[in-house]
Structure 1
Amino acid sequence: MVERYIKVENARIWTEKSGQGVPVILISGGPGSCNYLEPVCSLIEDHCEVIMFDPKGCGRSSYDGYGYDLESSLQDIESIREEYGYKKWIVIGHSWGADLGLAYSLLFPQSILGYVSISGTGIQNDRDWKAAYNQKKLLIDELKPDFEFEANEIVHRSLIDSWRSFIKQPLLLKEITQLNLPTLFIYAQNDIRPSWSIEQIHNLINGSRYIEIKGADHYIWLSKKNELAEALRSFIKSFSDPLL
């Protein structure tokens, strides 16, 4: 693995590269969390070149004491792609990182080979969804990875607010139906987050696939890593052009 810091307008973003082949970026959730997707990287790095990163204000990336908006976050991802010299890459996000990956697909379609959502939460701010999640959260002790750094609550709140503004765009759902790229939605059967919001998006995108992994929780690799590896590796293998 090779570490590298990418300079953006108001920060230095920590990144790490491993593997060789078609380029892939992994986007952790939160928002406001450091990178925690090393175990996912280990499942696929023999098939692709993987980039991981800490969002600015999180983990090893610098922080100016303020939050930032969705547009800034998406531009940071695009800056990472440009600095590494990739023409296009596969975008794989987990949880809120999957939602961020969807927004990136909409705003930077020229930069994407394919998009994978793992345990995303969808284009919604629904009371019933939130109530169902909160109820299960009280009843179920969700298995979680060890996070190397504490979450940044200021970054979390600023991005959540920005996301909620973004999803109110009148033409957003129409734009999702017009996405023309390979897409894969992976969900966990035992996730305490309702799946309907992701299933809706899956059904908006022509030709997309939806996989539900039985017996898995939100952080799928902690309990069903072989099943997750099979789904991801199969998707990645379909992109074999070494010049991309």
Structure 2
Amino acid sequence: MTVTADDGVRLWAERSGGAGDPLVLCHGGPGLWDMFGDLAALLADVTPVVRWDQRGCGRSERCDGPWTSARFVADLDAVRRHFGLERMALLGHSWGAQLGLSYALAHPDRVSALVYVSGTGIGPDADWRPGYKENFLARLADHPERLARWRELSGVAERTRDAERERAVLHWSVEFEDRDRALEPAGRMAEPWFGVNSECAGALDAERERTWGTPALHAACRDLGVPVLIVDGAHDIRPRSAVDSLAASLPHVRRVTLPRAGHMPWVDDPEGFRELLSRWAGDGRESPA
């Protein structure tokens, strides 16, 4: 299915599940694509879902951007209009959690609830990036052969498509709690392989570094009337303390930490994640303080 943004760029989207208002999923990245096939199947009897690929990524039209959060918020609004949703419930993961929050701040009247999964909070990157880098290398070092191969591939200036995919799978393998079997779910993330949009990723990361962590952002979150459910995996290698200021700023928030999960909680603890989302949907998608 094709959603056309207001500037004419075509976005891939898919709706699955039964009747009723869907949960709109915002994938991580930036520069990646929807990898929520497992999650959509897990929630099949809980809620219908809408999945989509962000502009210039995955199955969406290749374009020259613009790579700004305002543009991506506008694209998400195009998805909402395409599916005829006056208000929508959002689930954002990682960078997608930031996008979902940005959308809710821009259009609070168009969001019924936000599930904020494995995000990095509203502070500066210094709150989480140094710890993430340290934890990334430590976890990859649990399997020295993976670390050696990742370093070898990272040192190649011009990688082939296969080498780029292999490096990504090794990189993503640190996100799963079952270290010995982590290459399996990481490999599923790369199938099919669309290639990382590095220009998109670099621009949006740079924008976050410039604009996140401001007093204005904290104030906007304090005024947000949308109910927010924050979901953390206790073993995410991004320090969960980075999310504390977001949780403290939101007036209508519930925070749940899944003790056996990392960055991809629906993979590490599918039953726990499904039960959490099922209760949330059963409560009318509310997450009161």
**TM-score (normalizing by structure 2):** 0.78
* Segment of structure 1 superposing worse, 205-214 or 167-176: 167-176
Counterpart residue identity of residue 154, structure 1: E
Q: CA RMSD in A?
A: 1.6
1:5 maps to 2:17: no
Give the SS at the match of 1:185: strand
Return the match for 1:146 from 180, 186, 189: 189
1:180 matched to 2:225? The reply is yes
CA distance in structure 1 between the aligned counterparts of 2:125 and 2:96, rounded to whole angstroms? 19
Larger Rg: 2
Which residue identity lines up with residue 80 of structure 2 in the other structure?
A: R
Name the structure 2 match of 1:105.
104
Contact map agreement 2:125 2:209 (CA 8 A) in 1:
no
- Which of structure 1's runs of 4+ aligned residues deviate more than 4 A? none
The CA deviation at 1:69 is 0.8
**Alpha-carbon distance in 2 for matches of 1:60, 1:208:** 34
The alignment covers a number of residue pairs equal to: 237
The residue type equivalent to 1:163 in the other structure is R
Alignment of 1:1-244 (within 5 A): 4-8=1-5, 9-20=7-18, 21-127=20-126, 129-141=128-140, 142=174, 143=176, 144=186, 145-147=188-190, 148=192, 149-167=194-212, 169-239=214-284
CA distance in 1, matches of 2:276, 2:24: 16
Contact 1:27/1:53 (CA < 8 Å) preserved in 2? yes
Structure 2 segments unaligned to the other structure (5+ residues): 141-173, 177-185
**1:197: how far off?**
1.7
> Which of the two has greater strand per residue?
1
SS of residue in 1 equivalent to 2:114: strand
Q: Secondary structure at the match of 1:17?
A: strand
Segment of structure 1 superposing worse, 135-144 or 59-68? 59-68
Q: How many angstroms apart in 1 are the aligned matches of 2:64 and 2:87?
A: 32
Q: Higher helix proportion, which one? A: 2
* CA contact 1:69–1:158 (8 Å) conserved in 2: yes
The structure with higher relative contact order (CA 8 Å, sep 6+) is: 1
